[in-house]
Amino acid sequence: MRFLILLIQLFFFSVAFATEQSADKVFLKAQQSYQARDLIGLEQSSKILHSQNYVLLPYVDYWVMLLKLSNADKTQIQNYLVEYNDTSFSERIRAEWLKILAKRQDWATFFEELPQYKRDDIAIACYSLEGRAKKGDVIALTEGKVYWMVATDQPLNCEGLFDLMQKSNVLTENDIWMRFRLALQEGQLPLAKSLLQRLNLSASVKSLDAAFQNPQQFLDAKNPISLHTRLGRELHLYALDRLIRIQIDSAKQRWEKLASQFSEEESAQMWKRFAIYAARHHDSNALGMYARVKTQYMDKEAFAWKVRVALWGKDWSLVKNTIADMSIEQQEEPVWRYWKARAYKAQNDIPKANQLLLALTRERNYYGLLAEDELGDVLTATPINYVPTEVEVQQIQNQPAMQRVLELQRIGLKWESRAEWSWATRDYDDKQLLAAAELAVRQGWYDVAINTAERTKSVHSYTLRFPTPYRETVTNFSKDYGVDEAWVYGLTRQESRFNPSAKSGVGAAGVMQVMPETAAWIAKRMNLGGYRQDKIHQLDTNVQLGTYYLRYTLDMMNGQTPLATAAYNAGPGRVKNWMSDQPIEGAIYVENIPILETRAYVQKVMANTYFYAYRLGTKTQSLKQRLGVITKTNSAIAAE
């Protein structure tokens, strides 16, 4: 009898397994049919999956609806939206439908459906403003300015809105020139060329290319473009801006000869670019250049670098006054609230300093940790670490959307799995987010767990925010090369969030994001026998290479962790060029790192390291102590 029961159980298990396998294959075939726009094949797969009630069926119905959308009637679409109202697919279909309605100029149906759409989509926002304008709403075109004054391309359909704005003189010629200048400052040359077309200056694209390719030659041309035209002045400003980055003294000499032919606003724009560049390079002339720029012509970047100049020179009055000149929005950024508090403290205005610092400590980030250090004994409470219950985790796992997440991951559709996760967790409260993060950790999705745990507002879990996977590997190599394990974890978390398959746009690979060239150099230096390039993706090898390189950068930087961290990201050579001849507080040094990516990287790694020291039970230093006082190093640079 027991044998018979076993056979029956085995039979049903085999049937279930075969059905599941069949569903997998049918689903992947359905995906291929969708990608080939094969509606007949897709509908055949859909029928099979409907009969099996497959967990990923909503994806197939979504693909079918997308292929039918252009020809579907209003009732069909609305029925679909009702049926899948609690999925991400309804929002995607609604978005595509709104775009189709706008292209058809069916504004009545468009505005009937628009209130149901809950996402931010610039394309739909532009359509909405265009539709309102065509229905006689004159304010709509003015609202379009917010989508105009950006340095990047907007969705193509926004051009229809911009055309209406230009015809109605809401979008002025000066507005176009201002965006042209902004695009050039951000290196968006294709956008700048398209703006010349809007100004009926398409023939001037060659002149723009000349200013880009060889600014010095452009400025020294025997027959230069006339400075009596807006085009001539803007291209000269652009060429000078590019020359500043190559030869600042040469650019300044040329500018001083030309400055009288420019307006006050244009002159301020140029001096602002000189001042920012000088500030980035700790040029003692930076403040003199800033003095030529009236506050009304300053922007966020200019204010930020003026504060950094003041910090480098320990001019706390200038720090405080410059922050006061910023917009209220910029002043509210954590970085400037922290440095404003430091300025108050330096001037012995302790009550004002502590008020700012106390508020910052509630934000568990780099500046919040520095604020804690400044308060010292004033702040004694330690944050509570919430642990999700098993019931809470199971409730999350049982949700239909989370079941789709797990199935997508199981069959190898990682991108779709992550997108489904984002939708599933979009409205979670803090405890639900932490339960979801715990579920992600159990699946080995450490990057997903970290991203989810970081979204909490009041209830936090630092165990989930700062997981310690691959512990034996990290511990062993940290000991082998004599580096702080908390630092290795802090850096690895920032590099890849512990995703072994992570790969950057420039080719860095693995959990510690080692560049292939650097890996080959390290392997040779270590006499790592049998090393091949494909081994960079192996966990043990990647961590070994990464920790060795950390030791190398730490030695080059005389044991100064902030410098070694910066060198890991930007290369030792660059870091050498960012040093001061005089000892400088670590936090001020980091604030003055000229490359935004590296500055943010060092701040996050150092904050991560602080938290990991707590996790590992090795906390002996505050963040400010870890940053220390930076002194110039004299070691030779052996490799970049």
462-to-444, 452, 603 alpha-carbon distances in Å: 17, 12, 18
* Number of other residues whose CB lies within 10 A of the CB of residue 334: 16
Distance CA 70, CA 101 (A): 10
Task: Decide: residue 589, CB within 10 A, 0-12 exposed, 13-18 middle, 19+ buried.
Answer: buried
495, 585, 591, 640: the active-site residue: 495
Q: Give the containing element (helix H, strand E) for 31.
A: helix 2-35
The DSSP annotation for 610-628 comes to HHHHHHHT---S-HHHHH-
Contact present, 279 and 308 (Cβ < 8 Å): yes
Residue keyed to tokens 């850096």: 491
Distance CA 212, CA 614 (A): 50
Task: Decide: residue 554, CB within 10 A, 0-12 exposed, 13-18 middle, 19+ buried.
Answer: buried
350-to-354, 379, 413 alpha-carbon distances in Å: 6, 15, 55
* Number of other residues whose CB lies within 10 A of the CB of residue 248: 16
> What does the block give as tokens for 216?
């010095």
> What does the block give as tokens for 365?
């980030």
> What does the block give as tokens for 619?
């906390």
Contact present, 49 and 78 (Cβ < 8 Å): no
Task: Decide: residue 473, CB within 10 A, 0-12 exposed, 13-18 middle, 19+ buried.
Answer: middle
Distance CA 531, CA 527 (A): 9
Contact present, 365 and 607 (Cβ < 8 Å): yes
Contact present, 453 and 461 (Cβ < 8 Å): yes
Distance CA 392, CA 432 (A): 7
Angle at 213 between CA 208 and CA 216, to 5 degrees: 95
Q: Give the containing element (helix H, strand E) for 416.
A: helix 414-424
In the chain, % helix, strand, coil (3-state, to 5) comes to: 70, 0, 30
Residue from 112, 113, 106 nearest 131 by CA? 106
Contact present, 443 and 409 (Cβ < 8 Å): yes
Distance CA 185, CA 619 (A): 44
Residues 527-540, buried b or exposed e (16+ Cβ, 10 A)? Answer: ebeebeeebbbebe
Whether 130 sits among the annotated catalytic residues: the reply is no
Contact present, 562 and 606 (Cβ < 8 Å): yes
Distance CA 261, CA 355 (A): 49
Distance CA 620, CA 608 (A): 15
Active-site positions read 495
